[in-house]
C-alpha cells in the first residue's frame, strides 16, 4: 500500500523539492511517513511562523519555492504572518496543511484544531488555496502551483488535505512526473519595438527596477549603459546594478534625491516594481503627472493598473522583455545619466543623519569583508538605514522584512532558510534586540540544523525606532522600553558563539571569525557606544 501522504512526498521529490520546513503533529503524521528514506531534508523550527520565514529566506536565496508541512488550525494561523510577508514581497511559498476530516471540517462541533473555514482564511494571502477531496487531483493542483511560481506573480499557495484522506491507498495512481515548465509571458515584437522608440527619443531617461527584475540584471545593466540612464533600485531590487557602477542609484525611492531625479527625467521605465508605498512613502500620489512619461513592465496586469498609472503599460516577464528590448537599442553618447546619478547620490548623503551614515557604513563593512554574503534583515534601525542608501553586491543579496507587510522576527529564521539554500555563502542576520525576542527559540533550530549563520544584534534595549517616533510626536514613550536579556548567556544556552563589536574595525575581525566558524555566532553591538 502507498498512502496518500507518501504519494504527496513522491510528487514533491519528482518536482525537485529538496527541503521542507515544519513541526510534526498528530494530523500530519502520514506526511512524515512519506519523508522516510526520501531525498528531502526536513527542518524543524520552534514555531510555525519560523517555518514560514525559513521558507521565505530559502526561496529568495535559491530561487526555488520554499515548502512547509503545517498542521490543521493553530499551525496554519501561526504561519499566516509569514505567508502575508511573502505575499507582500511576491515570494514563492508552498504550504501543504491538513484540515479536519471529511464530515468534521466546518461542523462547528469543536473537533481538535477546527476552524470554521481555514481555506477562506488562507485566500487572504495566497495566489490560491485549494482543498483536496480526491487524491487523484493532487498532482494536478501541484502543477498549478508550480505554474504560478514559474510564469506568474509568485505568491504563496496553500493546499489542504483532510486528515482521514492522508491514509487513502494511492497504489493505483500513476508514478508522479515533473511538472512541465511554462514559459512566462513576453511582450510582442511590436510592443518591444515601440518601447525601444520611446527609449530612443528620451534625452533624460531613467529606470526604476524592483524585486521582479532581479533575474533581468544583465539586460538592465546593458540597457542602462546604452541609454546612459540612471537606475533607481527599490529595496528588493538592490544589487541589480553593482556598487560603484556609474549609473547605480541605491537610494531610497522616497528621498528628495530620488524624487527630484524622477521629476527631471523626460522618460521613466519602471520594471518589476509595484511603485508601492513602502518604497515611495506614498509620495508618488502627489506626482500623478509622471504617468505621462512613464512606461511600466510587470508580469501582473492588475498591478499595472494600481498606483501610478503609466501611459505605456506592458504585461510580461521582466527578464524576457528587457532582453528583447536590449537587442533593439544602439549605444549612444549621453553624459546626463552619470552626472545625474552623481548628483542624486550626493543629495542622498546630505539627507542621512550621522547615525544613519554609521549604520550604512556597517552594512558596507559586511559586504566588503565577506564577498558573496547574503544580508538578511529584520525591521530595525540599521536595516532602515540600508533601505535608504545601501548598495548591495548583487541581486537578492540584501533583503528584509521592512517593506511590504513589515513583520518583526523575520531576520533570524529567514537567514537560516537562506543558509540552507546557499551553504557555501556567508549569511548574516541583522536583528534588533526587540525583533530577536520575537523568534529567539529559532536559535535552537540553527544549532540543531548545523547552520552557522552570523547574527549581528543591534541592541538599543527596546523598540528604539518606535520610541523616537513617539517622542517626535510628543507622545510619552509607553511599552517600548522592554526587558532586555543577557544575550551572551542565551548564546551559551543555545551553543552559539558570542562576541561584542565596539567599532567597525572590530566588526570586520569578528565577521571573518564568524565566517570560518562551525557554530552560529551572535555579534552584539551596543547602539549607544558603537562608532
3-state secondary structure 2-52: CEHHHHHHHHHHHCCCCEEEECCCCCCHHHHHHHCCCCCEEECCCCHHHHH
Measured CA distances, 393 to 47, 224, 523 (Å): 32, 18, 22
What is the CATH number for 294? 3.40.50.1220
**Residue labelled with grid coordinates 508550480:** 146
Measured CA distances, 496 to 113, 434, 442, 486, 527 (Å): 35, 19, 12, 14, 22
The pLDDT tens digits for 300-335 are 999 999 988 999 999 999 999 999 999 999 998 778
Assess whether 198 and 263 both reside in one domain: yes
Q: Is residue 193 assigned to a domain? A: yes
Among 133, 167, 201, the domain-final residue is 167
Q: Is residue 179 assigned to a domain? A: no
Whole-number pLDDT of residue 104: 85
Maximum Cα–Cα distance across the chain: 73
Q: Specify the DSSP class assigned to residue 440.
A: T
> pLDDT-based confidence at 110, cuts 50/70/90?
confident
What is the CATH number for 518? 3.40.50.970
Q: Is residue 182 assigned to a domain? A: no
- 27-36 average pLDDT score: 94
Assess whether 369 and 512 both reside in one domain: yes
Alpha carbon dihedral 146, 149, 150, 153, in 10-degree steps, equals: 140
> pLDDT-based confidence at 388, cuts 50/70/90?
very high
**Is it the case that residue 291 has pLDDT exceeding 90?**
no
Grid coordinates given for 458? 543591534
Among 348, 378, 408, the domain-final residue is 348
Assess whether 308 and 383 both reside in one domain: no
Assess whether 211 and 288 both reside in one domain: yes
What is the CA 418 to chain-centroid distance, rounded? Answer: 10
- CA atoms within 13 Å, Cβ hemisphere of 486: 4
Whole-number pLDDT of residue 1: 86
Domain count, the chain: 3
- 497-509 average pLDDT score: 97
In three-state secondary structure terms, 258 is helix
Helices in 316-421 by DSSP H: which ranges? 318-328, 336-351, 354-369, 381-389, 411-421
Q: Is residue 82 assigned to a domain? A: yes
The pLDDT tens digits for 175-230 are 999 988 889 999 999 999 999 999 999 999 999 999 999 999 999 999 999 999 99
Q: Is residue 176 assigned to a domain? A: no
**Is it the case that residue 111 has pLDDT exceeding 90?**
no
Whole-number pLDDT of residue 106: 83
Assess whether 218 and 163 both reside in one domain: no
Assess whether 214 and 316 both reside in one domain: yes
Assess whether 254 and 324 both reside in one domain: yes
Among 319, 348, 377, the domain-final residue is 348
**Is it the case that residue 94 has pLDDT exceeding 90?**
yes
Assess whether 266 and 407 both reside in one domain: no
Whole-number pLDDT of residue 109: 86
Whole-number pLDDT of residue 287: 85
The pLDDT tens digits for 340-387 are 999 999 999 999 999 999 999 999 999 999 999 999 999 999 999 999
Surface-to-core class of residue 438, CB atoms within 10 Å of its CB (0-12 exposed, 13-18 middle, 19+ buried): buried
> pLDDT-based confidence at 440, cuts 50/70/90?
very high
Q: Is residue 519 assigned to a domain? A: yes
Q: Is residue 180 assigned to a domain? A: no
- CA atoms within 13 Å, Cβ hemisphere of 38: 25
Q: Average pLDDT over the chain, rounded to whole?
A: 95
- Beta strands, E only, 167-238: 205-209, 231-233
- 252-272 average pLDDT score: 96
Tallying the residues shown for the chain, one arrives at 531
Which distant-in-sequence residues (6+ apart) come within 8 Å of 194 by Cβ?
Answer: 312
Whole-number pLDDT of residue 210: 97
- CA atoms within 13 Å, Cβ hemisphere of 499: 21
Assess whether 194 and 112 both reside in one domain: no
Which distant-in-sequence residues (6+ apart) come within 8 Å of 466 by Cβ?
Answer: 480
Assess whether 323 and 362 both reside in one domain: no
**Is it the case that residue 52 has pLDDT exceeding 80?**
yes
- 138-146 average pLDDT score: 96
Which structural domain range is residue 332 located in?
A: 189-348
**Is it the case that residue 288 has pLDDT exceeding 90?**
no
Assess whether 304 and 384 both reside in one domain: no
Grid coordinates given for 206? 531613467
- Between the ranges 107-111, 328-332, 414-418, where is the mean pLDDT highest? 414-418
- Beta strands, E only, 227-298: 231-233, 248-249, 267-271, 294-298
**Is it the case that residue 132 has pLDDT exceeding 80?**
yes
CB 22 within 8 A of CB 32: no
Assess whether 326 and 208 both reside in one domain: yes
Q: Is residue 92 assigned to a domain? A: yes
Amino acid at each position: 500500500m502507498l498512502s496518500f501522504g507518501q504519494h504527496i512526498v513522491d510528487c514533491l521529490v519528482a518536482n525537485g523539492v529538496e527541503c521542507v520546513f515544519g513541526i510534526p503533529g498528530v494530523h500530519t503524521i502520514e506526511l512524515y511517513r512519506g519523508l522516510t528514506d526520501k531525498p528531502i531534508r526536513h527542518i524543524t523550527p520552534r514555531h510555525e511562523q519560523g517555518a514560514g520565514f525559513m521558507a521565505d529566506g530559502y526561496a529568495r536565496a535559491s530561487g526555488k519555492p520554499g515548502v512547509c508541512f503545517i498542521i490543521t488550525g493553530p499551525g496554519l494561523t501561526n504561519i499566516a504572518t509569514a505567508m502575508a510577508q511573502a505575499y507582500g514581497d511576491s515570494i514563492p511559498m508552498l504550504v501543504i496543511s491538513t484540515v479536519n476530516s471529511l464530515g468534521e471540517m466546518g461542523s462547528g462541533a469543536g473537533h481538535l484544531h477546527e476552524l470554521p473555514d481555514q481555506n477562506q482564511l488562507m485566500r487572504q494571502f495566497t495566489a490560491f488555496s485549494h482543498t483536496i477531496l480526491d487524491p487523484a487531483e493532487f498532482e494536478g493542483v501541484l502543477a498549478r502551483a508550480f505554474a504560478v511560481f514559474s510564469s506568474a506573480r509568485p505568491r504563496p499557495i496553500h493546499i489542504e488535505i483532510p486528515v482521514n484522506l492522508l491514509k487513502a491507498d494511492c497504489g493505483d495512481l500513476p508514478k508522479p512526473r515533473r511538472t512541465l515548465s511554462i514559459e512566462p509571458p513576453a511582450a510582442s515584437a511590436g510592443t518591444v519595438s515601440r518601447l525601444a522608440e520611446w527609449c530612443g527619443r528620451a534625452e533624460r531617461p531613467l529606470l526604476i527596477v524592483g524585486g521582479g527584475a532581479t533575474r533581468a540584471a544583465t539586460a538592465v545593466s546593458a540597457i542602462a549603459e546604452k541609454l546612459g540612464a540612471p537606475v533607481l533600485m527599490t529595496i528588493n531590487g538592490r544589487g541589480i546594478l553593482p556598487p560603484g557602477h556609474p549609473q547605480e542609484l541605491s537610494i531610497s525611492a522616497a528621498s528628495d534625491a530620488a524624487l527630484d531625479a524622477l521629476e527631471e527625467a523626460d522618460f521613466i521605465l519602471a520594471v518589476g516594481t509595484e511603485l508601492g508605498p513602502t518604497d515611495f512613502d506614498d509620495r508618488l500620489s502627489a506626482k500623478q503627472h509622471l504617468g505621462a512619461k512613464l512606461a511600466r513592465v510587470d508580469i501582473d496586469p492588475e498591478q499595472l493598473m494600481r498606483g501610478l498609472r503609466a501611459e505605456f503599460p506592458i504585461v510580461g516577464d521582466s527578464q524576457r522583455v528587457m532582453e528583447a528590448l536590449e537587442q533593439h537599442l544602439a549605444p549612444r553618447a549621453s553624459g546626463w545619466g552619470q552626472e545625474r546619478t552623481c548628483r542624486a547620490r550626493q543629495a542622498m548623503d546630505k539627507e542621512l543623519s550621522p547615525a544613519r551614515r554609521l549604520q550604512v557604513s556597517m552594512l558596507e563593512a559586511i559586504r566588503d569583508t565577506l564577498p558573496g554574503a547574503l544580508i538578511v534583515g529584520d525591521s530595525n534601525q540599521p536595516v532602515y538605514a540600508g533601505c535608504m542608501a545601501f548598495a548591495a553586491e548583487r541581486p537578492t543579496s540584501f533583503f528584509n522584512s521592512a517593506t511590504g507587510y513589515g513583520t518583526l522576527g523575520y531576520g533570524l529564521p529567514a537567514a537560516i532558510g537562506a543558509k540552507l539554500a546557499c551553504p557555501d555563502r556567508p549569511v548574516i542576520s541583522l536583528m534588533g534586540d526587540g525583533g530577536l525576542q520575537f523568534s529567539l527559540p529559532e536559535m535552537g533550530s540553527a544549532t540543531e540544523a548545523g547552520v552557522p549563520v552570523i547574527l549581528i544584534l543591534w541592541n538599543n534595549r527596546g523598540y528604539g525606532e518606535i520610541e523616537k517616533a513617539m517622542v517626535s510626536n510628543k507622545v510619552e514613550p509607553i511599552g517600548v522600553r522592554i526587558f532586555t536579556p543577557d544575550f551572551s548567556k542565551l548564546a551559551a544556552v543555545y551553543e552559539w558563539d558570542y562576541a561584542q563589536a565596539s567599532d567597525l574595525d572590530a566588526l570586520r575581525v569578528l565577521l571573518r571569525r564568524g565566517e570560518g566558524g562551525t557554530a552560529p555566532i551572535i555579534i552584539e553591538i551596543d547602539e549607544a557606544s558603537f562608532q
